[in-house]
Amino acid sequence: MSALESSTLRRPELAAEGRRKIAWAEAHMPVLGRIREQFRAERPLAGETVAICLHLEAKTANLALAVQDAGARVVITGSNPLSTQDDVAAGLASLGVEVHSWHGCTPEEYRGFLDRVLDAGPTLLIDDGGDLVARLHTERRDRLGGVRGGCEETTTGILRLRAMDREGRLRFPMVGVNDARMKYLMDNQHGTGQSVWDGIMRTTNLLVAGKTVVVVGYGWCGRGVARRAQGLGARVVAVEVDPFAANVALLDGCQVMSGEEAAAVGDIFITTTGNRAVLTRRHFERMKDGAVLANAGHFDVEIDLPALAELAVETYEARAHVRAYRLADGRRLYLLAEGRLVNLAAADGHPAEIMDLTFALQALALRWVREEAERLGPHLVDVPREIDEQVARLRLAALGAGLDELTPAQRAYLSSWSHE
């Protein structure tokens, strides 16, 4: 049976359009392209079955194809019910990767797709947010024994893995790709910075200049979102629980306030905390008429959706991906993309040049964990510095950007204490 026949797709007839999107992204992903060439020649994953659970869009398709070119059988599902692009899913299946996913799946269908991927008997994993790993360690323990190791994409997934490792529950090594410098400095900051505004602007078609943007959570993602907001002419308010991050926000030119104070002044609210219920009833009650609410965190728990629904006397679709909640006093709050990650549920995710770096790390980390699994043991581990640096150097080479070198005298100076 071909991959297309064994896949679960909603719109198989869109395969040609999906392949065009995949080709466009590929043309802007030179670092992954170099690794893929090497994989094609060396086949380092021959004999492996790789289960992937990632936001299924065009850049992700290129990672799946690189893993396939490394000799593996690849089975993929989406990591969020709203981020799968049906045309890309069909295009990828037509290129030999087994796909189980569609846009807008129900929670039951979502879990069913995770199970289809696990049914393939994976030996290696790539996860985003930790759902695949969590399911393997709970409902699908029948497939646990076959897995040598895997890689995790995001902050949320790493938090879950850290808890599993701490409690001694993790059964194989997982590489925390998010914590590599070529990930969080690029993807979290610049990727999220651009793609979140892409999602908000596409969805609302409203002006950002002159507005007050409240960024809840001033980690790397929040910083990126705040800086792009400033570039668009907004005033930015940062809401933080960490005193160090709050100080960074102040020096970045943001105002720093409590959530409740910020609720009263914000026009656009963006949550980037990775935590639950960071905007809730006590915030909604203070918000201005017309406030826009968007989430950029992995799960749809940052904006307290049950509390918002409870407060509303009426809800209606104001535009595609925009749900209006009318409160008893007539104020309307506008929720984007059902409170799911706005950059993926209502746009195309991070730019291709950014995902090039993240997915280059994923490809190299997957090869590494396969080779080193026994030595690493069942723990959350960092991407080795050499892989991080290799991706950094490949990116510079792809751009033709030169790097300076230390002279022997400088090297000696840096390692001496006497300074003679």
Q: Which residues bind ligand ADE (CB under 6 A)?
A: 54-55, 57, 59-60, 128, 153-154, 191, 195, 343-344, 349-350, 355
| 303 closest CA partner among 279, 275, 321 | 279
The least CB distance from residue 349 to ligand ADE, in Å, is: 3
Residue nearer to ligand ADE on the CB measure, 175 or 312: 175
Look at the block and give the residue holding tokens 């998010």. 178
The neighbouring-strand residues paired with 406 are none
Residue nearer to ligand ADE on the CB measure, 305 or 355: 355
| 200 closest CA partner among 215, 217, 189 | 215
Residues 47, 122: Cα–Cα separation, whole Å: 11
Residue nearer to ligand ADE on the CB measure, 7 or 194: 194
Residue nearer to ligand ADE on the CB measure, 122 or 129: 129
Residues 15, 253: Cα–Cα separation, whole Å: 46
Instruction: Indicate the residue whose CB is closest to ligand ADE.
Output: 349
Helix (H, G, I), strand (E, B) or coil at 220: helix
Residues 291, 325: Cα–Cα separation, whole Å: 10
The least CB distance from residue 391 to ligand ADE, in Å, is: 16
The least CB distance from residue 346 to ligand ADE, in Å, is: 12
Residue nearer to ligand ADE on the CB measure, 101 or 343: 343
The least CB distance from residue 274 to ligand ADE, in Å, is: 13
The least CB distance from residue 154 to ligand ADE, in Å, is: 6
Whether 150 contacts 383, CB under 8 Å:
no
The least CB distance from residue 253 to ligand ADE, in Å, is: 26
| 194 closest CA partner among 354, 56, 338 | 354
The dihedral sign for the CA sequence 75, 297, 104, 81: positive
Residue nearer to ligand ADE on the CB measure, 19 or 59: 59
Q: Which amino acid is at 34?
A: R
Q: How many CB atoms lie within 10 A of CB 166?
A: 10
